[in-house]
């Protein structure tokens, strides 16, 4: 896992090259909405890209993480099925429903049933290298989403340059990021992380929560600002030094949201002494998001290492899948 995290920028570059060389059938129609289907490590890319391109996409992008798809899906919907293994049962079921509604279908996978279906039906697909834990393949699975959205005329900006800028940024900052991750790890050890971020960066908070869950085998939760100010903030009423607040921040977050964060800190400080602020680097929302994601990945790995546990082990999920396979 350490090597896979360290290879994050290499994965991005590889994914760009794979996507560029993928033979996609031209599309001349008009897409009215997009549904990205995927779960866990295969689904987080959809969550993040929907926020990164929200101010650039020419139609709504909805993320679906279930067995059933929304009723609005029709022949004018682009459905992107994402399953790293190609065998995620929920994704396969969603794909079948999308087919029944004559949706436009594209796939991102490394193989399995999803690739078989895509090849049989000649769906546009981008095939990425397999064999990794899905959560460690984010750098491979995320960039293809941009290429598909561009191919179907949903976005029209220079995302390749921005992705390449991420590679340069993280390459220059890697040492500093690992050092910061080590500092944060010491503060989070034996704590329960409570993760907050600007609403536009909820995907970053979700990714960090998932990585803490899977890599460090720890429970935690997340929320976004300003929404949490209308409910969860009232829950801060009991002193608990086991809680550790993590605030993901960007210097260009909306100014009123930044003010809310400052006020929130005064509330948190009454009930825990551990408040960690992690600021992004980068000039675009995409660069900032991937910077924070990579830093969070390092923290999750270092927490597992400090706990002395197997970072790649997910036996409880494997057992769940085995039990479901009996049905």
Q: Which residues are annotated as catalytic?
A: 214, 230, 321
- Residue 270 has phi, psi (to 5 degrees) of -75, -20
With a CB cutoff of 8 Å and minimum separation 6, the contacts of 59 are: 31, 32, 33, 34, 154
Place of tokens 């590679």: 167
- Comparing CA positions, the residue from 267, 261, 266 lying closest to residue 249 is 261
Task: Give me the DSSP letters along 61-117.
Answer: EEEE-SSS--TT--TTEEEEEEESSS--HHHHHHHHHHHHTT-EEEEEESSHHHHHH
Gap between the Cα atoms of 139 and 182, Å rounded? 22
- Comparing CA positions, the residue from 93, 99, 59 lying closest to residue 79 is 99
272 token code pair: 């825990």
């Amino acid at each position: 896992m350490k090597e896979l995290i360290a290879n994050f920028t290499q994965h991005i570059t590889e994914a760009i090259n794979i996507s560029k060389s993928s033979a996609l059938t031209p599309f001349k129609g008009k897409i009215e909405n997009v549904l990205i289907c995927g779960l866990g490590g295969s689904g987080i890319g959809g969550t993040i890209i929907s926020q990164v391109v929200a101010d650039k996409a020419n139609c709504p992008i909805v993320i679906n993480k279930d067995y059933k798809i929304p009723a609005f899906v029709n022949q004018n919907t682009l459905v992107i099925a994402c399953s790293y293994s190609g065998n995620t049962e929920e994704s396969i079921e969603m794909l079948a429903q999308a087919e029944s509604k004559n949706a436009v279908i594209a796939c991102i996978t490394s193989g399995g049933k999803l690739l078989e279906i895509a090849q049989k039906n000649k769906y546009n697909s981008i095939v990425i290298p397999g064999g990794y834990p899905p959560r460690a393949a984010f750098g491979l699975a995320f960039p293809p989403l941009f290429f598909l959205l561009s191919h179907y005329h949903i976005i029209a900006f220079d995302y390749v340059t921005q992705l390449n800028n991420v590679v340069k940024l993280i390459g220059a900052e890697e040492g500093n990021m690992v050092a910061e991750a080590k500092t944060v790890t010491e503060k989070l050890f034996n704590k329960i992380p409570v993760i907050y971020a600007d609403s536009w960066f909820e995907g970053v908070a979700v990714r960090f929560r998932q990585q803490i869950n899977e890599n460090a085998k720890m429970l935690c939760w997340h929320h976004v600002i300003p929404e949490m100010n209308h409910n969860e903030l009232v829950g801060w009423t009991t002193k608990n030094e086991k809680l550790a607040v993590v605030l993901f921040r960007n210097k260009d977050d909306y100014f009123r949201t930044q003010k809310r964060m400052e006020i929130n800190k005064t509330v948190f400080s009454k009930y825990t002494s551990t408040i960690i602020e992690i600021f992004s680097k980068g000039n675009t929302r995409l660069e900032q998001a991937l910077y924070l994601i990579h830093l969070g990945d390092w923290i999750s790995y270092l927490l597992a290492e400090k706990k002395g546990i197997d970072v790649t082990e997910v036996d409880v999920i494997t057992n769940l899948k085995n039990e479901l396979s009996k049905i």
